[in-house]
Chains A and B, each alone.
Chain A
């Protein structure tokens, strides 16, 4: 008999992996550059979601923010509080990597947005097949 926790986690991982398959396939086959950009951002977000989920361990689901800020506490009491906190919080390392990945992803997205904008302004289309034809025509002239 499968318990509910296993079922839910399997479902979430199955959905995220399906999304990744769909986005990789779509980026390869869709001709429109804007659709490629949308799929790229969905792919990045899904990968970040998986990274955050890896940081969750059994029974450790609190945010990695230490709540007990009090300088009047006895040092031993404070240290015990800190140890309890470390036993309950999620892994912060994947979250840090995800923050970095979001920044880099946004930078890449802004830059590619500029490139797509200029391509459309110059050639009047965002279809890669038409763009290829127009660029080849320009070169042969």
Chain B
């Protein structure tokens, strides 16, 4: 790369890049979005979210989850997150459509795996990573994290398995294309059922209810509840629909990303046999 000359086009592009970024950052500073150091400004929107997420005073205006980010994601603007999940769905489906006729079978070992040391260490880590992923997804309504983050962590473990243990490792444990697609579709199905459940119930019982409704409202008297009373064992805070949505998102994201990684690791021969390239 040493012989690469600096052309006039490069200089022009660099000037354009610098000026765009300088103009954007000047606008951020002049509208007081960025202040150095951070000021104690009036932030009524943040205050509203922070106080109504776990509202002591009026339980009609809360989401029942102490974790503000997840409650905004799935409750306050849940429809937005449903659309975001569908963007992820379509990106994976679009990628799979490009390699649609590829079959994963015993002969499709794209990567043979690494040395014995790497394999042993990877097998130890492969137990720990899904546990962390499951805990992040299950505590999504209590601590920072959630379904998507847990699913991404889980997909890291399948990526590790593909690279260190070979593509055949996951196939040998029954991770076929149709099964992973099925898990992904199951996750999306649970999301759509959870999102429309209260609306359907309210429609048939003649009560006002909304799509992506979580807790009850003064004008929508049915809700998912937030507390499971176990008597002597105490209470479990499950925050209504948030835990179901987080678990379904975890399932969908982990299966979809694992499938994407497995297909990306297939050798050229399989893609040629599939007829997607010449």
Q: Which A70-120 residues have C-beta < 8 A from chain B?
A: 71, 73, 75, 78-79, 81-83, 85-86, 89, 91-93, 95-96, 99-100, 102-104, 106-108, 110-111, 113-115, 117-118
For residue A95, which residue of chain B has the nearest CB? Answer: B69
Contact between A66 and B54, CB atoms less than 8 A apart: yes
Contact between B69 and A57, CB atoms less than 8 A apart: no
A-B CB contact pairs (8 Å), 5 listed: A92-B46, A93-B49, A99-B146, A100-B73, A118-B99
Shortest distance from the beta carbon of A90 to any chain B beta carbon, whole Å: 8
Shortest distance from the beta carbon of A8 to any chain B beta carbon, whole Å: 8
Main secondary structure of the interface of A (DSSP, over half): helix
Contact between B13 and A75, CB atoms less than 8 A apart: no
CA distance A65 to B276 in the complex (A): 48
Shortest distance from the beta carbon of A25 to any chain B beta carbon, whole Å: 4
Shortest distance from the beta carbon of B221 to any chain A beta carbon, whole Å: 22
Main secondary structure of the interface of B (DSSP, over half): helix
B38 / chain A contacts, CB cutoff of 8 Å: 9, 56-58
A64 / chain B contacts, CB cutoff of 8 Å: 50, 67-69
Shortest distance from the beta carbon of A53 to any chain B beta carbon, whole Å: 8
A81 / chain B contacts, CB cutoff of 8 Å: 56
B72 / chain A contacts, CB cutoff of 8 Å: 92-93, 96
Return the contact of A91 from the options B46, B73, B94 (Cβ within 8 A). Answer: B46
Contact between A107 and B88, CB atoms less than 8 A apart: yes
For residue B57, which residue of chain A has the nearest CB? Answer: A79
Return the contact of B66 from the options A13, A58, A69 (Cβ within 8 A). Answer: A69
A8 / chain B contacts, CB cutoff of 8 Å: 37
B53 / chain A contacts, CB cutoff of 8 Å: 66
For residue A104, which residue of chain B has the nearest CB? Answer: B87
Within 8 Å of chain B (Cβ to Cβ): is A139? Answer: no
Shortest distance from the beta carbon of B159 to any chain A beta carbon, whole Å: 12
Within 8 Å of chain B (Cβ to Cβ): is A129? Answer: no
CA distance A67 to B142 in the complex (A): 9
CA distance A62 to B189 in the complex (A): 36
Known: A93-B45, A110-B92. A82 touches B13 (CB 8 A): no
Chain A contact residue count (CB 8 A cutoff): 62
Return the contact of A28 from the options B13, B56, B88 (Cβ within 8 A). Answer: B13
CA distance A10 to B69 in the complex (A): 27
CA distance A99 to B81 in the complex (A): 10
B264 / chain A contacts, CB cutoff of 8 Å: 113-114, 117
Within 8 Å of chain A (Cβ to Cβ): is B98? Answer: yes
Contact between B36 and A111, CB atoms less than 8 A apart: no
Within 8 Å of chain B (Cβ to Cβ): is A140? Answer: no
Known: A82-B55, A89-B68. A108 touches B91 (CB 8 A): yes
CA distance A85 to B55 in the complex (A): 12
Per-position 1/0 for B1-36, Cβ under 8 A of A? 000000000100110111011000100000001101
Contact between B73 and A99, CB atoms less than 8 A apart: yes
Known: A29-B13, A118-B276. A66 touches B95 (CB 8 A): no
Contact between A122 and B277, CB atoms less than 8 A apart: yes
